[in-house]
Structure 1
Amino acid sequence: MTIAKPDFIEGIAKGMAVLESFDTERQRLNATLAAARAGLTRAAARRHLLTLTHLGYLETDGSYFWMSPKVLRFSGSYLASSRLPRALQPTLNRLAAQTHESFSAVVLDGEEVVIIARSGSYGAPTRTLAYGLHLGARLPVHATSTGCVLLASMSAASLNAWLKGRMLPRLTPHTLTQAKALRQRIAQVRADDFCIATEEHELGVQAMAVPLRNMQGHTVAALNVVLPGGPRSEAQLQHELLPLLFDAAREVRAML
């Protein structure tokens, strides 16, 4: 959405940029680091950090700042009020109970995908992945099955804009880091209508995803199953789990 310049509040934009500079790689920032990440001067970043601390969204030891639990108000309000996570949760729970695997619903947000709903892993040992699979977890688009599914739903122009000048960091030896290879992968995903990613985001972890479309045919999210442990063959995954994902996608379509 674009707005008229007089309606744009620059101070709010800068404050949000500082808040968004905290992530899984940098949980604690000083004014210098926050300034570099948010594209501000050190003095401006310091003022925003102090203001956010005063409002209770950050905590500090006098030098470094980190997020406080108050920031969860935003995600909590979204999860409580958004129709999408509430519509998908029963289906995720049913799939997990049926298979003893872990399922998630994910949306695209810039260069990351965000988990908006997830099941538990019923009857199976719980394993914590390096980057976590909690609600609100943000994962790199290019190295995830859900990310590739969501990229495959884009128009050619939107995909070109997304890829233009973008770095694709290597997370494992299996991560696609070249735009040409990623384009080929996306074209295949578009043809198949699903994606399998094996150890591209984390070693020892495999995932398979399908698009979740509304009644107008627009992809609004992706549904995936995450499988820690040794990789399974793609034929096995397509036989055992892909039909369940496709059935679930059809089941929830009218609610999206």
Structure 2
Amino acid sequence: MIARADFIEGMAKGLAVLESFDTERQRLNATLAAQRAGITRAAARRHLLTLAHLGYLETDGSYFWLAPKVLRFSGSYLASARLPRVIQPTLNRLAAQTAESFSAVVLDGDEVVIVARSGSTRVLAYGLHLGARLPAHATSTGRVLLAAMPKARFNAWMKGRELARLTAHTTVDPRKFKAVVEAVREQDLCVASEEHELGVHALAVPLRNMQGHTVAALNVVAAPQRLEARQMQRDLLPLLLEAARELRPLL
């Protein structure tokens, strides 16, 4: 915890306004930004104008949207962070072997974030780009990372949570979802079939360091017309497990 005297409230509010922009709301006015950031309209307006003045937002005078300058943060992270640099060659090799799409993902609150991704000639799923944020409960990687939590922490994560239904196959009942995560914990892998997006199967395994801590999840996605879930486990799971073993001393 940070000492109250060290907490800069204005910075926190400004970042909350910046984070209020997402794929659901690409353009916000002061009223919408205030609602999403949990601050007053007047404060939201000042933060929006300041961010626009600094070049992080663009505006037509009423609505605001993200400017390319915000990519400086993600670009600096991807260029300097050790995890993506260590994992990227392995993802490229897996993609070259199979022509499938592989990703390395970390957990950030309610979502998972793709921090490294292979190139692939097959575009299978919407939004699987570098830096994409996906709901943890409906993704194979999210479930692997949730299963890696101590049970008490996972129960706290679940407390009072409503799981959004993204497709007809998404598990949204809390008891059923807890059972799914428990199964992932026992099997040390996860297959998610069309729970985040129709027409897409995903298989994920944990990436652990030498201390045994899960630092990320590695997954592959495939269309069901090419690979059924059982076939995907048979053909691709050994490759994922071997990659996880190879990466462990590097993480």
When normalised by structure 2's length, the TM-score is 0.98
| C-alpha contact 1:175 1:201 (8 A) present in aligned 2 | yes
CA distance in 1: counterparts of 2:36 and 2:125, whole angstroms: 26
CA distance in 1: counterparts of 2:226 and 2:19, whole angstroms: 34
Letter in 2 for 1:192: Q
Task: Give the Å deviation of 1:164.
Answer: 1.1
Q: 2:162 aligns with which of 136, 160, 167?
A: 167
Does the residue aligned with 1:29 lie in a helix, a strand or coil?
coil
Corresponding residue of 2:243: 248
Letter in 2 for 1:235: R
Q: Confirm or deny that 1:95 pairs with 2:90.
A: no
Residues 118-139 of structure 1: CA deviation (Å, up to 9, x unaligned): 0011xx4x32633x11111000
Corresponding residue of 1:47: 46
Q: 2:123 aligns with which of 108, 124, 127?
A: 127
Residues 81-123 of structure 1: CA deviation (Å, up to 9, x unaligned): 10000000000000000000000000000000000000011xx
| C-alpha contact 1:215 1:253 (8 A) present in aligned 2 | yes
Runs of 4+ in 1 over 3 A off after TM superposition: none
CA distance in 1: counterparts of 2:228 and 2:132, whole angstroms: 27
Q: How does 1:1-256 map to 2 (within 5 A)?
A: 2-121=1-120, 124=121, 126-127=122-123, 129-130=125-126, 132-230=127-225, 232-256=227-251
Residues 42-88 of structure 1: CA deviation (Å, up to 9, x unaligned): 11111110010011000001111000000000000000110000000
Identity %: 72
Letter in 1 for 2:65: W
Letter in 1 for 2:171: L
Letter in 1 for 2:143: C
The structure-2 alpha-carbon separation of the partners of 1:50 and 1:243, relative to structure 1 and needing over 3 Å to count, comes to same
Letter in 2 for 1:251: E
Residues 117-168 of structure 1: CA deviation (Å, up to 9, x unaligned): 00011xx4x32633x1111100000000000000000001110111111111
CA distance in 2: counterparts of 1:194 and 1:138, whole angstroms: 21
CA distance in 1: counterparts of 2:200 and 2:228, whole angstroms: 13
Residues 183-227 of structure 1: CA deviation (Å, up to 9, x unaligned): 000000011110000000000011000000000000000000011
CA distance in 1: counterparts of 2:80 and 2:249, whole angstroms: 19
Letter in 2 for 1:245: L
CA distance in 2: counterparts of 1:28 and 1:228, whole angstroms: 32
| C-alpha contact 1:87 1:255 (8 A) present in aligned 2 | yes
The structure-2 alpha-carbon separation of the partners of 1:197 and 1:59, relative to structure 1 and needing over 3 Å to count, comes to same
Task: Give the Å deviation of 1:178.
Answer: 1.4
Letter in 1 for 2:153: S
Task: Give the Å deviation of 1:237.
Answer: 1.4
Task: Give the Å deviation of 1:229.
Answer: 4.6
CA distance in 1: counterparts of 2:223 and 2:63, whole angstroms: 35
Aligned length: 251
| C-alpha contact 1:205 1:230 (8 A) present in aligned 2 | no
Task: Give the Å deviation of 1:242.
Answer: 0.3
